Structure 1
């Protein structure tokens, strides 16, 4: 049910929030913006002096314009939160196929987890791109003896890529902080690329296309999960699996989690949409197929053979579809006796800054629901 008390995932200690907020550097600093604007102003003054002496001033004008343009780019990045630090920039570039992913940990380091990007081999029938990357975080000390680990699967939004959660979402830093404070169990976090081929390739909504595109739902449930269970020391049952996502990925998490209770026990929906949207229209041939994935429509009646825990997080300044849909789905599942926690990120909009702020609460919620 929707709870009025303070269940796990509703609040975090102040010192933890300070550590979580310390993951940025010059790429997400207002000081960088200020420095660029000062450089632009100095360039203007220098240009004016040169012009007064009847000398060429165009290099100074160009330099000032470039400094202002860079400052605006940094402002956009600070607001959206896509590249919070230099490591995130390297991860993002690696996700785009530029350079190699940074080494997140030296061998033997017991304080931070390990990050790697892997290629999950998919059968031709999945019709997935050959260059899809999957990002995996394993906790400090992994693997430790005979321990089996719960897995959190995260899905990016649209447009996006699997690297988004490990760059903009800051998954490694978030997990390391939560683990250091004993707020979550050691868990593996997997970020999957759900971009496909054919119609709707850039907005698959995690669907099996009936219009000639990728079979993304099959890829997730029958290719990625078995591969992860085979390659890593996972607890391979629904009780130890969580599926989460942001924006269109939030829809994916809801649709996959509710339609595949045999695979997942917990859902983390951050700024989610409740229907397949335009991407679904491109992926699916008929209205009836689209309706089968309309979570708002089926949430009150979808068969649930076991309890499903649902975490919904909404941006405080968002009064559009994610708020309406997320609230409706949370209310319907709570009315069915499911364990639902809905929270709001004050002052936030539909950005990766919001998703990064919401993620630690969702991970604590997921950890608390492990058996």
Structure 2
């Protein structure tokens, strides 16, 4: 286990933070909001002038209303951080079956590669047959006989597989961290845990007993073997990390702790400690729900090897993710596991917060995958 006064993932250099914060375009610019509001003001003035001249003004009023509505949408996007740029928007839309996925970008000398793939799932998994999985490969991949650690990232609810590659800005974060030698070359996989049947949009990564998808089986028996077969991975628990945001944070905790044969490191960003309403739609009985109550089983679940846990909490939130994440971190720390808990000042339960948090988590994961 890694133990230090200043453990990996607790801090990042100022120049790295500056590079991580760079990027974005007109989709995430306050100047776009200003321009739209200015357009609305001009449309209103034009409408008033036309009305004073006893001429039709409804087209100008309509234009003003549309400009204000668009400005509100841009403000929401800037605050939530869902589509920082056009490329991210294309990834997010493609993950939801809207438009074409961007063409695969092969790993180069200085930047990593990104591609979307369709992983064939057995009919018994009851998973959608058109979902995309997103894969980041580090610069220079594949390099001779090198095998790479893998970080699996799970989206929240509502969400889709491309969220970590769009709103989470993971490819850019990995490129920056690699350029500064803060992480080792790693493969990052954005998985789709949306399913079919009851609880389809909030599966909590569970195997449904109410007629829905078998998401846990899909992850463990379909996705991981497929990735290990298609990419040059180090295929053991020591070199696998599972992480997620919000409901995906619960998935990371539940899958990581209940499958130590697959994972050695967990990244839980603003996590919930139980399956919630999605779990009640996916599972038929209270006993089944209790089996996935991380908050309840964290103090006693068997751990055949050390588990490293990274928890990151939004500074301006004081609800269930803070309570559950802190309690689970304390439970595992009391059991001698390597735990790092961070708090992101000023942040709320948004993708902006997740984008701020994930570089620290990637550094933590890299340090715990030998």
User: Which shifted more, 91-100 or 335-344?
Assistant: 91-100
What is the CA-CA distance between 1:56 and the residue it aligns to? 1.4
What is the CA-CA distance between 1:112 and the residue it aligns to? 1.1
Decide whether the 8 Å contact of 1:3 with 1:341 is kept in 2.
no
What is the CA-CA distance between 1:286 and the residue it aligns to? 0.8
Q: Deviations along 1:300-339, whole A, 9 cap, x unmatched?
A: 0000000000000000011000000000000000000000
Q: Deviations along 1:150-201, whole A, 9 cap, x unmatched?
A: 0000000011110111111111111111111111101000011001111111
Distance 1:21 1:290 in 2: 39
Q: Deviations along 1:314-371, whole A, 9 cap, x unmatched?
A: 0001100000000000000000000000000110111000011100000000001111
Aligned position for 2:63: 63
What is the CA-CA distance between 1:99 and the residue it aligns to? 2.3
Distance 1:167 1:366 in 2: 20
Residues matched between the structures, number: 370
Any idea what SS the aligned residue of 1:218 has?
Answer: helix
What is the CA-CA distance between 1:55 and the residue it aligns to? 1.6
Distance 1:159 1:352 in 2: 12
Any idea what SS the aligned residue of 1:23 has?
Answer: coil
Decide whether the 8 Å contact of 1:148 with 1:235 is kept in 2.
yes
User: Which shifted more, 297-306 or 109-118?
Assistant: 109-118
Distance 2:10 2:311 in 1: 11
Aligned position for 1:154: 153
What TM-score do the two structures reach when normalised by structure 1? Answer: 0.97
- Consecutive unaligned residues of structure 2, counting only runs of 5 or more, are none
Distance 1:161 1:202 in 2: 9
Distance change in 2, residues 1:184/1:319 (3 Å): same
Once the two structures are superposed, the pairs formed by residues 174-253 of structure 1 within 5 Å of their partners are: 174-253=173-252
Distance 1:299 1:118 in 2: 34
Aligned position for 1:142: 141
Distance 1:278 1:201 in 2: 12
Aligned position for 1:73: 73
Distance change in 2, residues 1:135/1:60 (3 Å): same
Q: Deviations along 1:18-72, whole A, 9 cap, x unmatched?
A: 1111121110111110111111111111111112222211111111110000000
After TM superposition, which residue ranges in structure 1, 4 or more long, deviate above 4 angstroms? Answer: 1-4
Decide whether the 8 Å contact of 1:2 with 1:334 is kept in 2.
no
Aligned position for 1:101: 101
Aligned position for 2:111: 112
Aligned position for 1:293: 292
Distance 1:299 1:320 in 2: 19
Distance 1:358 1:255 in 2: 20
Q: Deviations along 1:73-95, whole A, 9 cap, x unmatched?
A: 00000111111111101111211
What is the CA-CA distance between 1:104 and the residue it aligns to? 6.1
Coordinate RMSD, CA, aligned: 1.4
Distance 1:365 1:2 in 2: 9
Alignment of 1:352 with 2:348, yes or no, is: no
Distance 1:202 1:98 in 2: 17
Aligned position for 1:309: 308
Distance 2:2 2:68 in 1: 48
Distance 1:205 1:7 in 2: 30
Distance change in 2, residues 1:104/1:24 (3 Å): farther
Any idea what SS the aligned residue of 2:40 has?
Answer: helix
Distance 1:47 1:110 in 2: 55
Aligned position for 1:33: 33
Distance 2:91 2:266 in 1: 26
Distance 2:285 2:235 in 1: 35
Distance 2:107 2:271 in 1: 39
Alignment of 1:48 with 2:40, yes or no, is: no
What is the CA-CA distance between 1:100 and the residue it aligns to? 2.1
Distance 1:64 1:244 in 2: 43
User: Which shifted more, 18-27 or 141-150?
Assistant: 18-27
What is the CA-CA distance between 1:3 and the residue it aligns to? 7.5
